[in-house]
Structure 1
Amino acid sequence: MYLGVDIGTSGVKAVLVQDDGALLAQASAPLPISRPDPLWSEQNPNDWVAATDAAVLALPLDLRGRVQAVGLAGQMHGAVLLGSDDKPLRPAILWNDGRSFAECTELEAAEPGTRVITGNIAMPGFTAPKLLWVRKHEPAIFAATRTVLLPKDYVRLVLTGEKASDMSDSAGTLWLDGAARDWSDAMLAATGLDRSAMPRLVEGGAIAGQLSAVTAARWGMGRVPVAGGAGDNAAGAAGVGVIADGDALLSLGTSGVIFVATADFRPNPARAVHAFCHCLPDMWHQMSVHLSAASCIDWGARLTGRDVPAFMAGAEAAGVAAGPELFLPYLSGERTPHNDPHARGALLRLDNETDPGRIAAAVLEGVAFAHADGIAALREAGTRIEQLAVIGGGARSQHWGRIIAAALDVELHYLEGGEVGPALGAARLAQIAATGASPADCCLRPPVRAGIAPDPMLAEQLAPKLAQFRAAWPALRTLREET
């Protein structure tokens, strides 16, 4: 029995998985987000700890007692600044925080080799620019900072007393030499830090500590090992067997990601494609990242005064390309391919016939169009993608899947347990750590419960709106720059 815990943005999910990969139980606990200023997005690190505790304790006690190892997955890029007492000095700055845009330019000027070393263009979502912002705007806090951890690794510190991180999560900091799988002294120096502020690095399936006696007693477990774990996207990939060169997935969570496993390090920063380490040894991955995906569904439901099931039902009833409405899903800025934290969403081409159903249809289409831009950037880099395994909360809607398959011209595979997401991969990494088994034996592809091939007629219906979508963003950006 293995426990996987995913420290997400909107909540923490905990799952219990058998040796054969079968999911036995799951529980979750919500998390609040603070946005005290424009572009800001923060959380209290101790809220993650409390939510992790609540989610684990909601699992059956008799099953918890059989856990052999724990794996952690988590939201990437968050900056947790700790003082000499290992306590947070300020709220964590999250992955969807856009305040450090100017610092990205400063970072690349300070270290011109940034894109070569890290494989990525500097973006405000990444961790390193956040530290430059703190150094500039909160110098006393920067001076007091002794350790910088990622979200899941702060939870690990509380659970085990160990400061450790895995390669996949650490690759999203801009402090990791992606090809070498090691901290880059040059990138650390460019932000006024050195290795003493960094956790030790381990592979995702390596043992990174063990539960403290206090945590083990509270959870009703032994002092079992805790695996290195993974960033949420790499963990999601491990959970559904996306571990070989060319394997790919689509994650429809709060954010949206197209993830492709690669046997070598293949950066393409010019198109804002991410190139990171995988959570498995000698593997890497490429990603297109969209900061708003399923979160747009929540936004649209609030806007129209409906709950999410009614909102989705309204979209399906309205039909595909039902009206002229266009939705640009840049509610928190955008990464691939625009790299613009100041990008904002828009609902365009409304008329007297616009109703909640047509708005819902436009929202689903808009998120699909953003992913079409993302897969185009990956394909421009020479990556071939013909199938995508679908994971995350958005995987529940096959109507949305038909729209996405047509817009991306790719076949979607819905896997059993795919909606569990990164927590499942964290449990599989725990199994590797506890047993020494190979990733090929543990990270198996779940059975396909449904498949959606791209519908040529649907693609033809969507094509004019996709063209309008792509024309709308440059026009809106120009309007923003002129005001």
Structure 2
Amino acid sequence: MYLGIDVGTSGIKAVIIDDKGEVVAESRAGLTVSHPHPLWSEQDPSDWWSATNSAVSQLDAAARSKVRAIGLSGQMHGAVLLNKARKVIRPAILWNDGRSGAECDELLRREPRAHELTGNLIMPGFTAPKLLWVKGNEPKAWDETDVVLLPKDYIRLRMTGETATDLSDASGTLWVDVAERKWSEPMLKACDLTTDNMPWLNEGTAPTGILRDELAEAWGMARVPVCAGGGDNAAGAVGVGVIHDGDALLSLGTSGVLFAATKDFRPNVAGTVHAFCHALPGLWHQMSVMLNCASCIDWVVALTNAPSVAGVLTALEQSGRTDTPELFLPYLTGERTPHNNPHAKGVFFGLTASTDPLALALSTLQGVALALADGMDVLTDAGTRFDAITVIGGGSRSAYWGRILASALNKPLIYRSGADLGPSYGAARLARLSIGDGDIDTVCVAPPITGVVEPDRALSDQLSAKRPAFKALYQSLKPLF
């Protein structure tokens, strides 16, 4: 048995898989996000730890007792600041926090080679500008900071006592030479940091410590190894077998990600493509990232006082609606690809007296799909090509939304067994690899296909006709954001 733990934005997911790769237990514990000021997005790392203990304790005790290794995955880019005693100094600044726009400019001024060194455009969501913000705005916290960790790596510290990370997650800090797969000392220096302030850097399949005695007893496990793991999207790719050049996935979580595995490092800083290390040795990947995806659906359901997301999707499907005149810009917490604009806002446009809650919901689903199509254009411009896309994350449960997405992207969407488990399943696979139980090609196979959603020609035409207005609406409103 192998345990995967994913430190997500909305919750902690835990899954145990057996030697056949089948899920034998799964659980979830919820989390909330704090927005104390405009553009701010924070969480208390102690909440991650409480939720992790809750999620693990919900798993079947007999399965827990047979776990041989643990893998970790998690939300990327978060800044967890620790002092010399390894205590948290302030709430973690998250991936969708947009406060450090000015610090992005300052970082490029300090290190003009930043794009060349990292292969990525500097954005407020990345970790490095967050640290410059702390230095300039919270000098006491800065002076106390001894080590900076990513969210999943804080959980590792609590589990093992080790400060370690993996290359896929660390790639999103802007402190990694992604081509060479090592810390970039010039980028660290530009933030007044050194490698002494960084965790131990590993490939995702490397063991990074042993479960502490007291925790092993509390969790009903042996003192098993904990592997480096991966950033959420890279771990999700491992889980669905997106491990060869040209394989692609669409992650439908709080954020929306189009991810393409690459056999080599392919930066494209002229656009807004992320080029990072994969969670497996010798592999890289490209991503387009939108900050608000399934979170938009949750938001509009709450806004309209609907009973549930599932209920709204069912009502839309039963209504037979395929189109609506309203447009929705899904930039509730800014946007990354393609706009790199933390100040972008969500917008409903074209409301009339006949607009009802279902119209708002449908325009939200379509707005997210159109924004993902913008992201795919950026990947295409960067030279990335793929014929089909595997879907992972909580949004993979809805075939109705899948038809909208497939039609907007004009690509077939492949649904696989266990795809809704996403990164936690991939983390469990990485745990298995870390103890040498099988190789990448046998462990990281694509799970069985449960369905394929093809683009609907009529719906594709409808959404394609909307794209000019969707794009023009953002450009027109950009000066007002």
How many Å separate the matches in 2 of 1:452 and 1:321? 15
Instruction: Identify if the C-alpha distance between structure 1 residues 319 and 126 changes in structure 2 by more than 3 Å, giving closer, same or farther.
Output: farther
Q: Which residue of structure 1 aligns with residue 225 of structure 2?
A: 225
Q: Which residue of structure 1 aligns with residue 144 of structure 2?
A: 144
Is 1:323 aligned to residue 324 of structure 2?
A: yes
Q: How does 1:266-285 map to 2 (within 5 A)?
A: 266-285=266-285
Of 455-464 and 370-379, the range deviating more from structure 2: 455-464
For the residue of structure 1 that corresponds to 2:15, the secondary structure is: strand
Shift of 1:434: 1.6
The amino acid across from 2:18 in the alignment is Q
- Structure 1 length normalisation: TM-score? 0.98
Q: Which residue of structure 1 aligns with residue 454 of structure 2?
A: 453
Instruction: Identify if the C-alpha distance between structure 1 residues 122 and 282 changes in structure 2 by more than 3 Å, giving closer, same or farther.
Output: same
Deviations 1:199-255 (A, max 9, x none): 111111110111010110110000000010000000000000000111000000010
Of 329-338 and 264-273, the range deviating more from structure 2: 264-273
How many Å separate the matches in 2 of 1:296 and 1:95? 16
How many Å separate the matches in 1 of 2:366 and 2:319? 12
How many Å separate the matches in 2 of 1:361 and 1:317? 13
Deviations 1:318-367 (A, max 9, x none): 54553210010000100000000000110110111111111111010000
Of 311-320 and 278-287, the range deviating more from structure 2: 311-320
Shift of 1:479: 3.2
Q: Which residue of structure 2 aligns with residue 20 of structure 1?
A: 20
The amino acid across from 1:330 in the alignment is Y
Q: Percent identity?
A: 55
Does the Cα contact within 8 Å between 1:318 and 1:358 map onto a contact in 2? no
For the residue of structure 2 that corresponds to 1:208, the secondary structure is: strand
How many Å separate the matches in 2 of 1:141 and 1:243? 40
Does the Cα contact within 8 Å between 1:17 and 1:23 map onto a contact in 2? yes
Shift of 1:313: 2.3
Q: Which residue of structure 2 aligns with residue 381 of structure 1?
A: 382
CA-atom RMSD in angstroms = 1.0
Deviations 1:135-194 (A, max 9, x none): 000011111110000000011001000111000000000000000000000000000100
Q: Which runs of 5+ in 2 are unaligned?
A: none
Aligned length: 480
How many Å separate the matches in 1 of 2:362 and 2:467? 14
Does the Cα contact within 8 Å between 1:321 and 1:462 map onto a contact in 2? no
Does the Cα contact within 8 Å between 1:317 and 1:357 map onto a contact in 2? no
Q: How does 1:208-357 map to 2 (within 5 A)?
A: 208-306=208-306, 307-319=308-320, 321-357=322-358
How many Å separate the matches in 1 of 2:320 and 2:230? 38
Shift of 1:108: 0.9
The amino acid across from 1:282 in the alignment is G
Does the Cα contact within 8 Å between 2:370 and 2:463 map onto a contact in 1? no
Does the Cα contact within 8 Å between 1:388 and 1:411 map onto a contact in 2? yes
The amino acid across from 2:309 in the alignment is V
Q: How does 1:99-118 map to 2 (within 5 A)?
A: 99-118=99-118
Does the Cα contact within 8 Å between 1:160 and 1:212 map onto a contact in 2? yes
- Structure 2 length normalisation: TM-score? 0.98
Q: How does 1:17-56 map to 2 (within 5 A)?
A: 17-56=17-56
How many Å separate the matches in 1 of 2:261 and 2:6? 21
For the residue of structure 1 that corresponds to 2:435, the secondary structure is: helix
Q: Which residue of structure 1 aligns with residue 395 of structure 2?
A: 394
